[in-house]
Chain A
Amino acid sequence: MTTPMAASTEAATRARLTGRRTASRRAVTDRLMRTLALVATLLCVLPLGAVLIFVTINGIGALNIDLLTKAPRALGNGGGALNAIAGTLQMVPLAALIAVPVGVAGGVYVSEFAGARAGRVVRFAADVLVGVPSILIGLFVFTFLVLPFKQFNAFAGSVSLALIMVPVILRTTEEMLGLVPRSLREGALALGIPVWRTVLSVVIPTGLGGILTGVMLAVARAMGETAPLLFTALGSRLVNVGDFGRPMDALPLFIYMNARQPYEAQNQQAWGAAFLLMLIVLIINVAVRARTWGRQIGG
């Protein structure tokens, strides 16, 4: 497939390479464009740096014991983000509890059992779902889990987050299981081990590292989602512990609500919460990705 195109470019290049005048210009272009590429790369890193720096500086300034241990008070007079912290720490784990079995089982199905066409359909659906704007997931869950129960509720919030996590987990599981050598499965089956045990005790453990990576990245993503919670968990000023039938706050909702306030104190709390959220999300990402990164550098 390379020959015709490569041949024509080759001829064109050879024609241009003759002549000394162009040679220096070519060198200049080369250097210029390479510099430009470097500048572009720096421009890419710059906003990351800017966000990190501003959130850290403003966030650390706003960080105090009250932020971590108190519920919001009226009019932004003191108080903290405990409602949001507690909410995130409940809704995200419940979402993972729903999403991990579904995602892993789905991945196992596509990798181990599905026929070519069924596999393609499920994989395609997962890819599509990843691309669906998260606000639409909120609308969807609102219709099925808020309207019928006549109450904004944290369970609906968890389900929305789970819908965001499932496709990510499914695709990583499927890809990781694809890397498990066929001989392992055949060996296990040859020993008379039933299929379900082969999958659970041979195939999945082999791909476990990769699957966990997918799960953690999905958790990190769900933790930062705001839009799907707007119409489901709604948010709340109260510290709601364990009542998934009622509204619950979450760190992203807390940031959104407090960012728009005219009160300095509440803006400060938004920065503090943003710092917390970013810290957790980045730690998960760095920890998980560092493994892959280390492998790449080492290899």
Chain B
Amino acid sequence: MTAFSPSRLARRGSGSRLPDRLFRGSSRVLAWALVVSLIGLGAMLLVNGWGAFATFGPAFVIGTDWDPVKNIYGALPFIVGTLLSSAIALVIAAPIGLLTAIFLAELAPRRVAIPLTFTIELLAAIPSVVFGLWGVFVLSPFLQSTIEAWAVDTLGWIPIFAGPPFGVGLFAAGVILSIMILPTIVSIAREVIGSIPNSQREAMYALGATRWEVVTRAVLPAARSGIAGAIILGFGRALGETMAVTMVIGNAQSIPQSLFDQAQTIASQIATTFNEAQVGIQTSSLIALGLVLLVITLGLNVGARVLVGRTVTGAGGR
């Protein structure tokens, strides 16, 4: 990404003077402290969550009952809730985000694009809990009386649109998540598109192609994997988002049957019940849930970064 050797001062005067050694040593210790905390986090989740895996085995992940009365814990409702709410967010945010990125990078004049980009990046700065507050008092009632009411009335015979519309639920969570991941998708996709060399566009214009044709035939194919990365990063952000989702998803601990059902994500389940969970298997099950979430988000993040890195360094060229 950057054209410098990573060890700029490394070879110079190694170990010569005490203050230098101390300085270097302490910076190394602090840098590795970060690595150690990350490992510690994973290890803590594994050790403290192990009880759940040991007790329930694979049933912990595929079990559908989260039943504190019988002390049986299956995480599937939360895994499904997490994936579904994030998937809804993606269905909404991916096309809008991609079109916006194209608009900002390819179509809009600079003086329009720059302030708009700036504005959209501000969206990322608004705290999750503020989105949640807005979601509870503005967005959910709005969705309930408009889209949800309409969908239940006209499409309600299709099971996934079955009512009743309560406002809070899976759909509201998906919508609020889509708003929250838009800045991620837009800014990365815009960057990726911007890194495609101009030579490709110019070849198309020379052939008399319209701007849109240039976008779809020259830019998008070249930016494909980077855009996929942007979308996956957005997905990853949605999976781990906690507060706004907790406030609007309806906190029902069962697998949702309809778009408008109440549900629960892994993060929202931990947020609402960890402080109250009984010491022992219930707590350990919640921590094990955290481990599942960590594995899913880490896998996606690492994968997405590889994809984005490939496009930006490959096509961006030096």
Contact code string A135-156 (vs B, CB < 8 Å = 1, else 0): 1110110111000000000000
B133 in contact (CB, < 8 A): yes
A223 in contact (CB, < 8 A): yes
- The answer to whether A256 and B9 have CB atoms under 8 Å apart is no
Tell me the chain A residues, 1-38 only, with Cβ under 8 Å from chain B.
1-2, 5-6, 9-10, 12-14, 17, 26-27, 29-30, 33-34, 36-38
B318 in contact (CB, < 8 A): no
Residues of A within 8 A of B96 (CB): 40, 43-44
Residues of B within 8 A of A58 (CB): 137
Q: A55-B130, A289-B121 are in contact. Are A119 and B19 (CB under 8 A)?
A: no
Q: A226-B127, A297-B111 are in contact. Are A131 and B298 (CB under 8 A)?
A: yes
Q: A10-B203, A128-B302, A198-B9 are in contact. Are A114 and B133 (CB under 8 A)?
A: no
- The answer to whether B130 and A277 have CB atoms under 8 Å apart is yes
- The answer to whether B247 and A256 have CB atoms under 8 Å apart is yes
Tell me the chain A residues, 257-299 only, with Cβ under 8 Å from chain B.
259-260, 267, 270-271, 274, 277-278, 281-282, 285-286, 289, 293, 296-297
A125 in contact (CB, < 8 A): yes
Cross-chain contact of A195 among B12, B207, B270, B294 (Cβ < 8 A): B12
B293 in contact (CB, < 8 A): yes
B161 in contact (CB, < 8 A): no
B60 in contact (CB, < 8 A): no
Tell me the chain B residues, 1-51 only, with Cβ under 8 Å from chain A.
2, 4, 6-10, 12-13, 17, 19-20, 22-24, 26-28, 30-35, 37-38, 40-41, 44-45, 48
Chain B residue at minimum C-beta to C-beta distance from A107: B31
In whole angstroms, what is the CA distance A154 to B1 when docked? 39
In whole angstroms, what is the CA distance A168 to B236 when docked? 17
Enumerate 13 A-B pairs (CB-CB under 8 Å) in ascending A order: A2-B197, A17-B209, A41-B108, A43-B96, A102-B33, A112-B27, A131-B301, A199-B23, A227-B242, A260-B247, A277-B129, A285-B122, A293-B118
Give chain A's interface residues, CB within 8 Å of chain B: 1-2, 5-6, 9-10, 12-14, 17, 26-27, 29-30, 33-34, 36-41, 43-45, 47-48, 50-51, 54-55, 58, 101-102, 105-106, 108-116, 119-122, 125-129, 131-137, 139-140, 142-144, 163, 166-167, 170, 175, 178-179, 182, 185, 189, 194-196, 198-199, 220-221, 223-227, 230-231, 234, 252, 255-256, 259-260, 267, 270-271, 274, 277-278, 281-282, 285-286, 289, 293, 296-297
Give chain B's interface residues, CB within 8 Å of chain A: 2, 4, 6-10, 12-13, 17, 19-20, 22-24, 26-28, 30-35, 37-38, 40-41, 44-45, 48, 95-97, 99-100, 102-104, 107-108, 110-111, 114-116, 118-123, 125-134, 136-138, 179, 182, 186, 197, 199-200, 203-204, 207-213, 215, 217-218, 221-222, 236-237, 239-243, 247, 267, 270-271, 274-275, 287, 290, 293-294, 297-298, 301-302, 305, 314
